[in-house]
Amino acid sequence: MDMRERVNVALKQAMRDKATTRLSTLRLICAAIKDQEIASRGSDAETQASGVGDDEVLAILSKMTKQRQESARAYEEGGRLDLAEREQQEIAIIEEFLPRQLSDEEIAAAVRRAVEQTGADSIRDMGKVMAELKGKYTGQMDFGKVGPMVKNQLCTG
């Protein structure tokens, strides 16, 4: 079952269970997927035929999680713990569809492997390494944190 089907099945179950928070979050996920599909429509015939793939759905879910983490942090700083808690609930629902997040050690090992596999030896090769990582580990690591690790590896490598 692909990611989109999993979200739709969960959406239908949330409707049956009358789980309002879960239902609204799943609807937001569906809307984000639909937006991505509409945005990619004009690009090429292959995309039109296949729709949004699992990798794109994972990227959408990762982005949604990151947005909610930032919002929760802002709400906590502003003393709005009720809104921060709601954001945390949405994060938990979204993360159900994401693969397991890699530990720091696993990320470091993946960065080393990607550097070796791409033959990167300078900071100019950072794009190649990041593309390799995104191809294999979409949704499993925060690429905002991985970038400096790759840079460090290439500079000290």
CA distance 101 to 29: 19
pLDDT of 56 = 86
In this structure, the answer to whether residues 120 and 61 fall within a common structural domain is no
Q: Indicate if 17 and 68 belong to the same structural domain.
A: yes
Residue that is last in its domain, among 95, 114, 144? 95
- Regarding whether 10 and 59 lie in a shared domain, the answer is yes
CA distances from 95 to 13, 123, 125 (A): 17, 33, 31
Query: Which residue in this structure is represented by tokens 């009720």?
Result: 82
Q: How confident is the model at residue 157 (pLDDT cuts 50, 70, 90)?
A: low
Structural domain span for residue 140: 104-156
Domain final residue pick, 72, 95, 118: 95
Whole-number Å distance between alpha carbons of 57 and 33? 7
**Burial of 111 from C-beta contacts in 10 A (0-12 / 13-18 / 19+):** buried
With a threshold of 0.75, does the pTM exceed it? no
Is the same domain home to 83 and 22? yes
Summarised one tens digit per residue, pLDDT across range 107-155 is 889 988 988 888 888 888 888 888 888 888 877 888 888 888 888 888 8
Average pLDDT of every residue of the chain: 87
CATH number at residue 31: 1.10.1510.10
State the CATH number of the domain containing residue 115.
1.10.10.410
Min mean pLDDT across 44-48, 63-67, 81-85 is at 44-48
Asked whether residue 77 falls in the same domain as residue 115, the answer is no
Cα(57)–Cα(62) distance, integer angstroms: 9
Distance, CA of 142 to CA of 77 (rounded, Å): 23
Residues 156 and 123 sit within 8 Å (Cβ to Cβ) = no
